[in-house]
Structure 1
Amino acid sequence: MSALPPVDPRPLRRRRRRAALAQTACVLVTVFMALPIVLVGLAAFSSPEALDEFPKSLVPSHFSTATLAAFFGGTGTIPAFGNSMLAGVYTVLASLALGGPAGYALARKAFRGRDAYQVFVLLVRALPIVVLSVPLATLFLRFGVYDTVFSVTLLHTALALPTTVLITASIFVSVPADLEEAAKVFGCGRFEAVRRVVLPLALPGLAASSIFTFVLSWNEVLGAAVITLGHRTLPAQVLAALAEAPQSYRFAGGFALVVPALLFILVMRRYLVNMWGTTLR
């Protein structure tokens, strides 16, 4: 019986080395992205007096909610927070209601100029926000909807819609058309086939599109500052008071801007994973 040839351990070592380097790079990128959020959170839970100390300690000696209480107790902060939440939710609903059918049409219908149309839709996103906000502010003043959550929703929908159309188009392309045709064979109409077959398979991608749209709406500040005055969103409210605000207000404002978006992402991620598991089953 002949002996087995020796196994060269070098390929295995190289794979382990690459895996270790990839994991180290992921950890470094995660730390790089999370460190500012952690530092802002620690500063937000410090007292205003501790923020003015020098040298500052990395971790506050005692945690305090005085900074956040002063921020949320400021004039217009709570209404601005509510306006941002409403604008974000309305923007997600409007973008999916308009972009979903458009993405489905791009995925299922072959027509002349479809590729050029997709490029044109994406080019709209390349326009500076001022190019959209100033003409829209003029129209909103003319139609009496200036300085409302509705006007902010329209602006944010215009910003998010091109990307939503392309994302939903790629989602519907990934759903085999044969499944839809099979549903029609079993007696489903087009809309029923989409509702019973296509949408359940596309839900994870639509949830991912909702995350992108909400974060875009929540973080947008320049357009909201132009088209609102008394009913500002939270980023526009913080921007308006930033020049004269104390340091504690800035840290509390940054923390208040980051946390809701993170919570929305975490909640949608949980449902995203659950929907993906249900879809795969």
Structure 2
Amino acid sequence: MTAARERPPPARPARRGRRARRNRALVQAACVAISLFMVAPMYLITLAAFSSPAALNEYPKSFLPTSVSTETMNAFLTSTGVVPALLNSLLVGLFTVLLSLALGVPAGYALARFVFGGRDSYQLFLLFTRALPIVVLSVPLARLFITINVSDTVLAVTLLHTALALPTTVLITASIFVSVPQDVEEAALVFGCTPLQAFRQVVAPLALPGMAAAAVFTFVLSWNEILGAAVLTLTHRTLPAQVLGSLQWSPLAFRFAGGFALVVPALLFIFVMRRYLLNMWGTTLR
């Protein structure tokens, strides 16, 4: 009879505690490094946008604000076409979010709740729009919009951005609706709710974080999209298309001010929507 192998002694609690603290420290260090990597360009753009032209042309440049001035931002905001382009971008972004959710949420719900032939193929087909270059969509759409007399309008850019954002909106909301227990919805139907009331009062509140994530993605995509807006518009351009069209004639200060104006609205929208998002443990971000 062979002797039983001796089991190694269990790890000491102190050793496990040190390992846990080391892992937490590494995770926090990685989070700080990623945050700095993302925040550093925004800080540099903000610093340049609110520096005087003399400080902007200094070499070597300081990483701390030495000469704060609103002259550059005032010159940018008072330039011809900038304020109308900013308003056009806001309208296009908000209308794109509303239209994408109005079409994408029912489609995502149908994919999550109903089994029908070709469902997997349909989900794959949705991604084909994202696989095509934007210019492939912009040129035929420009011809179509000219034919139906809606070219060079906010509506034309909204329709294009909705076509770009809709596949992702459908897939995000479908994955969220799958995670909502169907028993809860059936219980609401048993207690007298109509299917629409059950969706509005039970399913939609539980799926709100996913819809908020889809809204954030859609707004950022619409706000930053530039090529399609430049092709479809001429006098009613969005802010990215307006900035792109004037970069080759603009001084360096104007470019930094334009970059700052492009970053801030998207950050504000994300800040407003963040309360509806959930982190991976299911607690509300506040």
Q: Report the TM-score when normalising by structure 2.
A: 0.92
Task: Give the unaligned 5+ runs of structure 2.
Answer: 1-9
Structure 2 letter corresponding to 1:193: A
CA change 1:263–1:6 in 2 (3 A) is closer
Offset at residue 218 of structure 1 (A): 0.3
Asked if the contact 2:229–2:241 (Cα under 8 Å) also holds between the matched residues in 1, the reply is yes
Q: How many residues align?
A: 274
Q: How does 1:78-117 map to 2 (within 5 A)?
A: 78-117=83-122
Offset at residue 271 of structure 1 (A): 4.3
What's the counterpart of residue 166 of structure 1?
Answer: 171
Asked if the contact 2:126–2:167 (Cα under 8 Å) also holds between the matched residues in 1, the reply is yes
What's the counterpart of residue 198 of structure 2?
Answer: 193
Q: How does 1:163-242 map to 2 (within 5 A)?
A: 163-242=168-247
Alignment pair present for 1:267 and 2:272 = yes
Alignment pair present for 1:37 and 2:38 = no
Moved more, 169-178 or 56-65: 56-65
Asked if the contact 1:50–1:60 (Cα under 8 Å) also holds between the matched residues in 2, the reply is no
> In structure 2, how many angstroms separate the alpha carbons of the residues matched to 1:76 and 1:6?
68
What's the counterpart of residue 121 of structure 1?
Answer: 126
> In structure 2, how many angstroms separate the alpha carbons of the residues matched to 1:176 and 1:17?
38
Offset at residue 127 of structure 1 (A): 1.0
Structure 2 letter corresponding to 1:76: G
Offset at residue 277 of structure 1 (A): 6.4
What's the counterpart of residue 77 of structure 2?
Answer: 72
1:21 is matched with which residue: 23, 26, 29? 26
Alignment pair present for 1:253 and 2:266 = no
| Post-superposition CA distance 1:96-140 (Å, at most 9, x none) | 000010000000100112112111112221111011111000101
Structure 2 letter corresponding to 1:135: P
Asked if the contact 2:55–2:67 (Cα under 8 Å) also holds between the matched residues in 1, the reply is no
Structure 1 letter corresponding to 2:153: T
CA change 1:48–1:184 in 2 (3 A) is same
Aligned partner of residue 159 in structure 1, secondary structure: helix
Asked if the contact 1:84–1:234 (Cα under 8 Å) also holds between the matched residues in 2, the reply is yes
Structure 1 letter corresponding to 2:143: T
> In structure 1, how many angstroms separate the alpha carbons of the residues matched to 2:168 and 2:209?
16
Asked if the contact 1:168–1:209 (Cα under 8 Å) also holds between the matched residues in 2, the reply is yes
> In structure 1, how many angstroms separate the alpha carbons of the residues matched to 2:226 and 2:193?
45
What's the counterpart of residue 54 of structure 1?
Answer: 59
> In structure 1, how many angstroms separate the alpha carbons of the residues matched to 2:269 and 2:69?
25
Alignment pair present for 1:147 and 2:143 = no
> In structure 2, how many angstroms separate the alpha carbons of the residues matched to 1:196 and 1:142?
43
Offset at residue 10 of structure 1 (A): 2.8
Task: Give the unaligned 5+ runs of structure 1.
Answer: none
CA root-mean-square deviation: 1.9
Offset at residue 54 of structure 1 (A): 2.2
Moved more, 22-31 or 58-67: 58-67
What's the counterpart of residue 135 of structure 1?
Answer: 140
Aligned partner of residue 36 in structure 1, secondary structure: helix
| Post-superposition CA distance 1:228-247 (Å, at most 9, x none) | 00000000000001111100
> In structure 2, how many angstroms separate the alpha carbons of the residues matched to 1:6 and 1:172?
43
